[in-house]
Every structure is written in structure tokens, then in C-alpha cells.
A and B are shown apart, each in its own frame.
Chain A
Amino acid sequence: MGNREVPHLEILGQQTEASTLGKHGFLRGSEPEANDVVLVLIPSLLAREAGGVGRFELEAATVREALLQLPVRDLVFDERGTLRPLVNVYLNRTQVDDLGGEVGAEDEIRLVAAIAGG
């Protein structure tokens, strides 16, 4: 976890300075029964839209819960909350279709755009 850069995280609509965050990127002692922290990695285009941040450490119980905290969630999901069909989600390097699957500490979620186009 050491070198992950988290200059800013927009978490549930609140902009939070990294310097005020705990080692996992969250305000210390914020929730007594906090969920585990998972790592979310997003492609470069999404990272540009997120202000240059491609790695997020997010507190979440499920894959969907983690992805909905991303500042680019409107690009990952459509207006109905449906995952866009050409966005593939990998949990610990295995593609998952069920975004309701539980996640735990040290899990890694990676978004990969479908490979095609011209």
C-alpha cells in the first residue's frame, strides 16, 4: 500500500485533503464498523477525468459500492445505474459480472475497457 498516491479523494460528494486522511485514505475513526478498504484501478482516460488519479482506496462492502464512490461513476454507469456494457470489471484479476459480490481487505478492483475500435 506504501506508494499509492491519493492526492484528493471525492468520497460520497465530499472533497477531502489527502493530508487529513488515514493510511487507507479515510478520515480516522469515521465509522465504528467501517468496511474494509479495497483498491480500485481505473484506465487512463477515466483517470484524466478524475483529475489525474488512477488509483483509489475506497471503503466498500461490495464491488458496486466501491465503483459508485468513483468521481467518474457517471462514465462507468449509465443514468439507470447499469454498468456500461463495454466496461469490464475484474476483482483480483478475475472478471466479475455480479457487482453485488462482497469485497474485503486487500482486494483489488480493476476496470478495463473492452478492446476494440479504431
Chain B
Amino acid sequence: MGAAVLVGTRKGLFVLTSDESRREWSVAGPHLTGWEVFHAMRDPRTGTLHAATNNWVYGATAHRSPDLGETWERAEGIGLPEESGLSWEKSWHVEPGHADEPETLFLGGTPGALFRTDDGGSTWEPVQSLIEHPTREKWNPGAGGLCCHSIQADPSDPQRLYIAISAAGAFRSDDGGETWEPKNQGVAADFFPDDNFPEVGQCVHKLLVHPAQPERLWQQNHCGVYRSDDRGESWERLEGNGLPSGFGFPLALDHDDPDTAYVIPEEGAENRVTPNGRLGVYRTRDAGASWELLTDGLPQQAWASVMREGMSFDRLDPAGIYLGTQGGSVFVSPDEGDSWLEAARFLPTILSVEACEWS
């Protein structure tokens, strides 16, 4: 069994492959030329590749490949109902559903909408409850639009789902997507002059559920890094203890250790580059009580940007951590962040990286 990284770029999808040592990498692709690949993943349940794809002329859709990229099929007819007054603008993220429902996947995107398929991606239906969410009028688009970019299925409960939308906040469903409750208590929205802790309107940049301890959630927000230990009922802000900034986009976890997380801070909303003129990954091993800078193998002179889908982690031991920069470099740490190597460079602008098994 080998390791792979699916690298979504402004100009197609690249596949980096290696053996389990994750120290020598080959680059294949591009697949899906002409498409901006906002996110791609390999469904661990079926082995199918799925991609959230956009073209500035031909719109937003999704593609899938049953044969590791040899052939691709496009989903047809993805669209929002006329009575909603909304149009599907961008496909941001495609996510497998629960392990017990191998044909169920979710596709999130702009304008704050979610699609569900129960046939492996042949047909997609809009999740009506989110279109009609009673708080929708309070949602505001971030710089990337009103994007539903984070989708997480609780591995311990097929009925429980999480989504995050910029800038609407985090939402949880306990009934398979029939209803959605805002879960933003304790999460700041500093950009609102009157109420910094509203029910909705938070600008979540990335939300992840820990796969081994699913009541624990992590969130990189426009206004800080947060952890929840109660399925999003409350959130604790975590920076000020080693992080140079609470602003950033991507987030990665350690599949085996719920207390470990990785972020890549940027200077701030007004200057979106890595701080102190270098590319630094920050790791906590104590659930966010403290953070350490990881630099071994990362460029020491850099003003880099890593987008919200630009970091990933694998399920190997030791855990591998992956990041892709807007400048087109992919960095891999095969040892939980202690050291890094540049697996590819000069790719088109990287929008997403996603680690997966490859065989």
C-alpha cells in the first residue's frame, strides 16, 4: 500500500505518489485540465476519486473517477431549486458520508449550500433544510463567497453531520441533515461592531472532527483557533500561547492523537502571508494549551499562503502531514511535523491537498 496526495490546483488535479516511507515522490497529471479543482479526495469506502470542480465559463460541478484518474465522469444537473432564488456558483468540498452508507457523499459550496448523493455521485440533490435555514438572511459572504467548505460526518453516529460556512458559522445536524443547529457559542466575530458573539455570522475557515474522538472538534477561524470537546456546544479560543496570530486558513489533525493539531498562521486579515518572512507550521500536542513552531525542512525565507483546503494528514504511523502553497509547492512531513521535504514545486496555484492510500 502506497501513499498519495491529491493536489487540486487552479489548472487541474495532480497526484503525488510514494511508498509508505513518504520520502520520495512522483508527480502525475494533470487530470481534469481546464478545471479549477477546489478539492479532491479518494473515498476510502469505495476507492473512487471525487473532485469539486469549477470553470469560470462553464460553471460549478463535480467529477469522479472509478479508476484512479484514468477516466472521469461529470455529475450532471447540479443546481438549486428555482423557488430558492439561488444559483449554484462554486463547488468547494466533497466529503464521504458515514462508513455504513458507502454510496452517500456530500458536496458543499457557494452560496452556502449543500448537496447529497445516495448513489455514489451519479445524482445530487440539494439539502433543502440548509437552503431554507431560518438564519440564512444573517449570513454574509466572505472573500471567497458564501462558501460551505467544511463537511464532516461523525464516525460514531450516521445521523450526525457538521458543516461550516464562511461567514455563517458552524452548524450541526443530529438527524441526517433534516435540521441544522448553529454551533458558534464562544466563537468570536470581531468584524461585527455591535455584537462580537452572535448566533450565526462567524467566519469559520476550516472545521474538522477528530476521527478517534468525535466529540472533539477543531476550528481555524478568521478570529482565532478553537477547540470544542462537546460536539460544538461550546468553543474555547486557543491562541496567545505560542501562536503568532490567530488568523489562518488550513487545519490538520493527528488521526491517532486527539490532543495534536497543526495550523499555519498568517499575519492577519489585512496581510495574508505567513508571519516573520518564513513558512512555519505550528503544532500543539496538548490540545491547544501551547504551540511550537516547526521549521525543519520548510523554507526559512518565504511569504507564503496556504489556502483552507491546503493541509491534510494521513492515517499512517507515524502520521504524515501535508501542505500545498499558493506558489505551487507541496511539502510533506512523514514524521508528524518534525521534519519536512518538498515533494513537488512549480505546480499551478494549489487550492487543496488531500492525503489518501494508493494502490
Which residues of A are in contact with B by a Cβ distance under 8 Å?
A: 45-46, 48-49, 72, 74-76, 78-80, 84, 86-87, 113-114, 117
B22-30, B57-65, B290-298 - the one binding chain A: B57-65
Question: Contact at A87–B58, with CB atoms within 8 Å?
Answer: yes
Q: How would you classify the secondary structure of chain B's contact residues: helix, strand, loop or mixed?
A: loop
Question: Contact at B34–A45, with CB atoms within 8 Å?
Answer: yes
Q: How far is the CA of A86 from the CA of B58 in the complex (A)?
A: 8
B135 contacts the other chain (CB 8 A): no
Which residues of B are in contact with A by a Cβ distance under 8 Å?
A: 33-34, 55-59, 61, 74, 76-80, 82, 87-88
| A79-B61 contact, Cβ under 8 Å, with A48-B34, A86-B56 | no
Chain A nearest CB: distance from B117 CB in Å?
Answer: 16
CB contacts (< 8 Å) of B61 on chain A: these are 74-75
Chain B nearest CB: distance from A67 CB in Å?
Answer: 13
A-B contact pairs, 27 of them (CB 8 A): A45-B55, A46-B58, A48-B34, A49-B74, A74-B59, A74-B76, A74-B78, A74-B79, A75-B55, A75-B59, A75-B61, A76-B58, A78-B59, A78-B79, A79-B78, A79-B79, A79-B80, A79-B82, A79-B87, A80-B79, A80-B87, A84-B57, A84-B58, A84-B59, A86-B56, A86-B57, A87-B58
Question: Contact at B79–A114, with CB atoms within 8 Å?
Answer: no
Q: Which 6 A-B pairs have the closest CB atoms?
A: A79-B79, A75-B58, A45-B34, A86-B57, A113-B57, A74-B76
CB contacts (< 8 Å) of A45 on chain B: these are 33-34, 55, 58
Question: Contact at B56–A79, with CB atoms within 8 Å?
Answer: no
Chain B nearest CB: distance from A1 CB in Å?
Answer: 28
Q: How far is the CA of A87 from the CA of B77 in the complex (A)?
A: 18
Question: Contact at B57–A114, with CB atoms within 8 Å?
Answer: yes
Q: How far is the CA of A86 from the CA of B57 in the complex (A)?
A: 5
